[in-house]
């Protein structure tokens, strides 16, 4: 139901007033046309409200400045009414018991202002030294250094980088949504993902008093070119909110930032350019979040399209298409599209993405237990910066790597991916443009992160196709196809580990998806499903043995929006309803089927 309809000429104040007075479950609708001179749309804790336009090619919001979104300048602010952040939690408690993998029952020392249905942030102290297995660390002073720069601004409380955000189901005798807790025994959903929660690491909890839930923005275009806001859309201290069918143009930093939030969907959208094409140039950025779904987006002309800049436990990054990851710091440099960039990142699923490069770096800390399933990482980009103003571009010739998994990125699972580019990729794990770089260190500003000998033996690779091998690699043991010829009699399955060991899979059959139970409703009926993998034949992407088809996001960009194949050119017209069979909000679910792979 529409609670208010506004027309072009409506002011920021009128839009914000309509949001504030809209009843729960209703829509503020913006008619087609241009809304100019906007200075920041603010939800200010208002849950259950959708701000909707007539389509991203019909309703245009043009910003000249942002709003103070709890000190984070943003053009659209969807956040709690109270300020709850790493430097000043609104509420906090000791986490007294309940640390086992999968548990849904925990005990807290206090529950003031905690309510059923609210998100609850759980954390614990970092590891003081290398454990030799799962290792959570961000301090460059660790011997040896586990990061180049530390992690002091990325959402987590200091030196408490492992985080999972859960939802309160009941507490004491209370189990009705919105009721205040009357007991310190708390039932949560989902259960704990990681097996290393421990009373020895001073586990704790913190939460907002008035988190926001059930609000979203959809079907409109946001032009940030003239705005001083750092973020296009900021979602903070939220649960079950969304961004859908949005076109974002030239944001100050990230087009969408997700912070202290869980179960946020960013989907069916198009993000183009930022005001800075070097550092802090992001499409969708996650800081300290859990179970978010970043799905089916087109990201063009942005240095770091899919940035995990803080803990993101149980998040799913799926079926996105990134092109021309424009990076002005280095001529000809292929920039990564998917970055694990800080400490505390664990239990991520990357599925079905098509992008230049996958990168697990060591700038801000360690990462563990990430699964990469049925993606295409090319190891090259359509165009790269060549130094000529304003957007001079030419062929890429630097950092042409499909997958770069650096030191302290442990227990990664690379399954059924299609990797590399013929004529560019020069070796499997060697050469100037290899398919893989594994376990390498880095140096910057007087700090050196050494190479990590634990990365390679904890890495599982199964059923990947790469253009150098020119075959699917089922490299487990001598019973597998191509053991002597393709695999060189070398296993890529970590069967001998004392923890998280994998037995060699008994089959080469794979599920279509690790988080979708069936072909999704938004997937075109005539389109191959799954689109990428060793069991895919006759694919329409050349040079990869027929193992990859374009995805709906890529088809939208190339065929509906008429985007240039190399990702160059001006911002394009976009409307999600013209590209996808069904563009509807779907709450994210934790990836399923991972347990069989990582344990």
The token pair that represents 120 in the structure block: 């609850």
Q: Identify which of 306, 353, 312, 330 has the alpha carbon closest to the alpha carbon of residue 513.
A: 353
Task: For residues 562-580, give the mean pLDDT.
Answer: 95
Instruction: Give residue for tokens 């069936």.
Output: 518
In-domain check, residue 297 = no
Whether residues 254 and 337 share a domain: the answer is no
Q: Is 91 found in the same domain as 63?
A: no
| Same domain assignment for residues 219 and 176 | no
- The answer to whether residue 588 sits within a structural domain is yes
CA 140/CA 163 separation, integer angstroms: 20
Count Cβ atoms below 10 Å from residue 542 Cβ, excluding itself. Answer: 9
433, 506: one domain: yes
- When pLDDT is averaged across residues 560-573 and rounded to a whole number, the result is 97
| Confidence (pTM) | 0.97
CB atoms within 10 A of CB 570: 9
Query: Could you tell me the pLDDT band of residue 595, with boundaries at 50, 70 and 90?
Result: very low
pLDDT-based confidence at 598, cuts 50/70/90?
very low
CB count, 10 Å around CB of 559? 11
Three-state DSSP at 597 gives helix
CA atoms of 202 and 204, how far apart (whole Å) = 6
| Residue 74 and residue 109 in one domain | no
Task: Say yes or no: 446 and 558 in one domain.
Answer: yes
Q: What pLDDT shows up at residue 582?
A: 57
Query: Is 286 a domain residue?
Result: no
CA-to-CA distance for 532 and 528, rounded, in angstroms?
A: 9
The band of 597, judged by pLDDT with boundaries at 50, 70 and 90, is very low
What is the distance between the alpha carbons of residues 253 and 320, in angstroms, rounded to a whole number?
Answer: 19
pLDDT in tens, 130-177: 999 999 999 999 999 999 999 987 899 999 999 999 999 999 999 999
Mean pLDDT of the chain: 95
Are 430 and 565 part of one and the same domain?
A: yes
| pLDDT of res. 392 | 80
Residue 592: which pLDDT band, with cuts at 50, 70 and 90?
very low
Q: Across the strands, what pairs with 353?
A: none
Residues 593, 575: one domain?
Answer: yes
Q: Give me the pLDDT at residue 257, please.
A: 97
How much is the average pLDDT of 302-327? 96
CB 172 within 8 A of CB 184: yes
Is residue 312 assigned to a domain?
no
Quote the pLDDT of residue 228.
Answer: 87
Host domain of residue 107: 82-125+160-210
Judgement on whether residues 271 and 403 belong to the same structural domain of the protein: no
In a domain, 296, yes or no: no
Say yes or no: 577 and 519 in one domain: yes
d(CA 266, CA 278): 23
Secondary structure class of 577 (helix, strand, coil): helix
- pLDDT digit string (tens) for 221-242? 999 999 988 899 999 999 999 9
- Separation CA 352–CA 551 (nearest Å): 8
Q: What value does the mean pLDDT take over residues 37-59?
A: 97
Last residue of a domain, one of 275, 303, 318: 275
Q: Quick check: is 21 in a domain?
A: yes
State the CB neighbour count (10 A cutoff) for residue 143.
8
One domain for residues 191 and 227: no
Q: Confidence band (pLDDT; 50, 70, 90) for 475?
A: very high
What's the DSSP call for residue 227?
-
Q: β-pairing, 384-385 with 393-394?
A: antiparallel
Average pLDDT over every residue of 409-436: 97
Residues contacting 4, CB < 8 A, separation 6+: 18, 21, 22, 28, 29
Residue 264, token pair as written in the block: 């946020």
Q: Which residues pair with 298 in a beta bridge?
A: 270, 321
Segment 4-32 shows an average pLDDT of: 98
239 and 267 both lie in a single domain: yes
Establish if 34 belongs to a structural domain.
Answer: yes
Best CA proximity match to 493, nearest among 466, 459, 464, 469: 459
Q: What is the mean pLDDT of residues 112-132?
A: 98
Q: Which of 275, 292, 316 is the last residue of a domain?
A: 275
139 to 123, 158, 161, 287, 362: CA distances (angstroms): 17, 10, 10, 18, 11
pLDDT at site 153: 78
Q: How many domains, the chain?
A: 3
Tell me the C-alpha distance between 263 and 283, whole Å. Answer: 18
Give CA 522 to chain center in angstroms: 20
* 62-74 average pLDDT score: 93
Within-domain flag for 255: yes
**CA distances from residue 304 to 57, 224, 301, 526, 596 in whole angstroms, order as listed:** 25, 18, 9, 32, 31
């Amino acid at each position: 139901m529409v609670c208010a309809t506004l027309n072009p000429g409506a002011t920021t104040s009128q839009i914000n007033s309509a949001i504030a007075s809209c009843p729960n479950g209703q829509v503020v609708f913006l008619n087609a046309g241009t809304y100019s001179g906007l200075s920041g749309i603010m939800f200010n804790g208002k849950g259950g409200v959708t701000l909707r336009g007539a389509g991203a090619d019909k309703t245009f919001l043009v910003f000249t400045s942002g709003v103070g979104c709890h000190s984070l300048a943003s053009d659209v602010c969807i956040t709690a009414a109270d300020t709850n952040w790493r430097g000043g939690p609104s509420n906090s408690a000791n986490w007294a018991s309940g640390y086992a993998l999968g548990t849904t029952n925990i005990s807290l020392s206090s529950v003031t202002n905690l309510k059923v249905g609210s998100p609850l942030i759980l954390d614990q102290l970092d590891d003081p030294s290398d454990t030799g297995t799962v290792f959570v660390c961000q301090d460059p002073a660790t011997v040896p250094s586990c990061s180049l720069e530390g992690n002091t601004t990325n959402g987590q409380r200091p030196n408490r980088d492992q985080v999972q955000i859960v939802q309160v189901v009941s507490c004491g005798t209370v189990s009705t949504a919105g009721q205040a807790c009357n007991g310190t025994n708390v039932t949560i959903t989902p259960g704990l993902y990681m097996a290393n929660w421990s009373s020895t690491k001073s586990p704790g909890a913190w939460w907002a008093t008035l988190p926001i839930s059930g609000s979203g923005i959809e079907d409109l275009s946001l032009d940030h070119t003239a705005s001083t806001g750092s973020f296009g859309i900021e979602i903070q201290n939220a649960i079950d909110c969304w961004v859908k069918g949005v076109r974002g143009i030239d944001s100050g930093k990230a087009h969408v930032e997700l912070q202290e939030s869980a179960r946020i969907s960013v989907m069916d959208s198009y993000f183009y350019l930022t005001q800075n094409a070097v550092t802090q140039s992001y499409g969708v950025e996650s800081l300290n979040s859990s179970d978010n779904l970043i799905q089916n987006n087109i990201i063009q002309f942005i240095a770091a399209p899919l940035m995990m800049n803080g803990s993101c436990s149980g998040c799913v990054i799926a079926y996105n298409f990134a092109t021309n990851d424009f990076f002005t710091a280095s001529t000809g440099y292929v920039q990564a599209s998917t970055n694990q960039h800080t400490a505390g990142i664990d239990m991520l699923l990357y599925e079905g993405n098509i992008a230049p490069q996958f990168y697990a770096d060591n700038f801000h800390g360690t990462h563990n237990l990430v699964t990469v399933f049925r993606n295409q990482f090319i190891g090259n980009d359509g165009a790269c910066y060549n130094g000529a103003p304003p957007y001079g571009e030419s062929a890429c010739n630097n950092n042409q790597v499909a997958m770069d998994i650096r030191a302290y990125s442990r227990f990664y699972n690379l399954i059924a991916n299609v990797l590399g580019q013929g004529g560019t990729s020069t070796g499997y794990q060697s050469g100037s443009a290899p398919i893989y770089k594994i376990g390498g260190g880095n140096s910057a500003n007087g700090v050196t992160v050494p190479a990590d000998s634990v990365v390679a033996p904890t890495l599982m690779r199964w059923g990947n196709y790469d253009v150098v091998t020119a075959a699917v690699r089922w490299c487990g043991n001598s019973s597998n196809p191509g053991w002597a010829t393709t695999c060189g009699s070398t296993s890529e399955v970590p069967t001998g580990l004392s923890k998280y060991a994998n037995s060699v899979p008994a089959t080469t059959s794979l599920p279509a998806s690790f988080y979708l139970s069936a072909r999704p409703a938004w997937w075109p009926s005539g389109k191959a499903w799954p689109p990428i993998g060793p069991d895919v034949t006759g694919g329409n992407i050349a040079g990869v043995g027929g193992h990859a088809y374009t995805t709906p996001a890529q088809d939208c960009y190339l065929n509906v929006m008429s985007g240039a194949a190399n990702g160059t050119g001006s911002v394009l017209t976009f409307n999600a309803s013209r590209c996808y069979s069904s563009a509807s909000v779907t709450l994210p679910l934790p990836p399923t089927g991972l347990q069989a792979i990582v344990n």
